[in-house]
Structure 1
Amino acid sequence: MKFGKSLSNQIEETLPEWRDKFLSYKELKKKLKLIEPKGTGDNNRATKRPRLAAADSTDAGERETNDMTIEELDFIKLLEDELEKLNTFFVEKEEEYIIRLKELQDRVGKVSDLSEEMIKIRKEIVDFHGEMVLLENYSALNYTGLVKILKKYDKRTWSTPSPALHSEGVATTLLHH
């Protein structure tokens, strides 16, 4: 099964409130297809954006950006937006889970082993574990999608992306701890 279809199936099966938090793989592929493959035309750079920085700038990132077509810049912008979306969701969930874990630990310390409250807490711990597994799967699935889309980008543009776009950079951004 193709990755895009697999991702779509996973999204359908996940919690409804998480569905819009996944990588927009299909949108990234659409943007990527708008980029003319390298070596297919003589005026491949005819649509590049005008330079936004000062003419005497020596920043390597700015030089790379100035050599990109509008379509490439649009793809990179969407990719950066997607990374921000994924990372924000992951960090929010991580913070929420740290708080919940502390609350559960505090409650466990206050009740006896055989009480009704302990049975309730144990059920909450099982549910909590399930949610953490979902977050782990969310992270792994989105990471895989990012690696795949970056490979497609590299193949289409015959370029080495900036360090921020390397799969290791993506992993650090998405799984920052």
Structure 2
Amino acid sequence: MKFGKQFRGTVQARMPQWAAYMLDYKKLKVAISQLETARSTLQPQGGWSLEEASSSFTALLDEEVDKVNSFYSDRIEEGVIIIHALKQHVDDLEAMLRAKPHDVACLEQRAACQRSLVALHFNLLMLQNYVALNFTGVVKILKKFDKRLVASLRQEYIAAIVELPFYRCAALGQLVEEAEKLFANLERNHCVPSAPQNQQERIVSVSGGTCAPMAVQQPHKSPATAA
């Protein structure tokens, strides 16, 4: 299965609500085909330049990367606000539970806070996947450009975006770690009934691998075709 189809399938399966903010891989692929057609038409007449083609494609790719980076930055800003509010809530809850460890209202607030942390953690993990999938798309489309236009744009372009927040994603790793610590604090510090087991099982430590490339979904092969 070609990457473009895998890309769309992964978006639809894992993050359909963010589809409008994904790298438009198809548009970039079409642009490469148009540049390739222009080369075959204009090059014999001396009216085609690889430098101009690279500049045109880079401008289009810049727009897509800016879209991804802006979306990532907005989600990080939201996450910082949410984690700050939850941290204050956890601190307040710990004080309340020390004073009234079996108070029903306090226990209900604790369970609600845990559910909020689970929801935040899930969204942060989805953002990790968003980053990994879009970066893979950037690398793949640059590889396609270089192959079909006989160019060497990929290394230069990647070197130019390594300082962007969505590439470095240090803030995302910090948010994931903070959410896990807050949840663990609620679990560790109070030996009282907590969130339902199915909620607890959904928040597991992933710190240290924040932006590792995510495997794109692959088609299943039968034993006969796998040989």
> For the superposition of Structure 1 and Structure 2, which TM-score range results when normalised by the shorter chain?
0.7 to 0.9
Which amino acid is the alignment partner of residue 127 of structure 1?
A: A
Q: Which has the higher helix share?
A: 2
Output the CA distance in 1 between the equivalents of 2:108 and 2:74.
Answer: 31
Query: Post-superposition shift, 1:11?
Result: 1.9
Q: Determine the structure 2 residue equivalent to 1:60.
A: none
Distance 1:162 1:28 in 2: 14
> Using the alignment, how far apart are the partners of 1:154 and 1:68 within structure 2?
14
**TM-score, with length taken from structure 2:** 0.61
**Structure 2 alignment gaps of length 5 or more:** 102-106, 171-227
**2:163 corresponds to 1:172:** yes
Match of 1:26 in 2: 26
1:102 aligned to which of 73, 84, 107:
84
Q: Does 1:135 align with 2:127?
A: yes
Computing the radius of gyration from Cα coordinates, the structure with the larger value is: 2
Question: For the aligned residues, what is the CA RMSD?
Answer: 2.7
> Match of 2:10?
10
- What is aligned with 1:153? 145
Identity of aligned residues (%): 29
Deviation (angstroms), 1:17: 3.6
CA drift of 1:22 comes to 0.5
Quick check: 2:12–2:19 contact (8 Å CA) kept in 1? yes
**Which residue matches 1:68?**
52
Contact kept, 8 Å, 1:143 with 1:171, in 2: the verdict is no
Give the Cα separation in 2 of the matches to 1:44 and 1:29: 25
**Structure 1 residue 18: Cα displacement:** 1.2
1:61 corresponds to: none
Count of residues in correspondence between the two structures? 157
Classify 1:104/1:45 alpha carbon distance in 2 versus 1 (closer, same or farther; 3 Å).
Answer: farther
* TM-score (ref. length: structure 1): 0.76
Q: Which runs of 4+ in 1 moved over 6 A?
A: none
CA distance in 2, matches of 1:44, 1:83: 34
Q: Deviations over 1:52-106 (max 9, x none)?
A: xxxxxxxxxxxx8xx314xx44422220100110000001101111111111100
Identify the residue that residue 90 of structure 1 maps to in structure 2.
72
Unaligned 5+ segments in structure 1 are 49-63
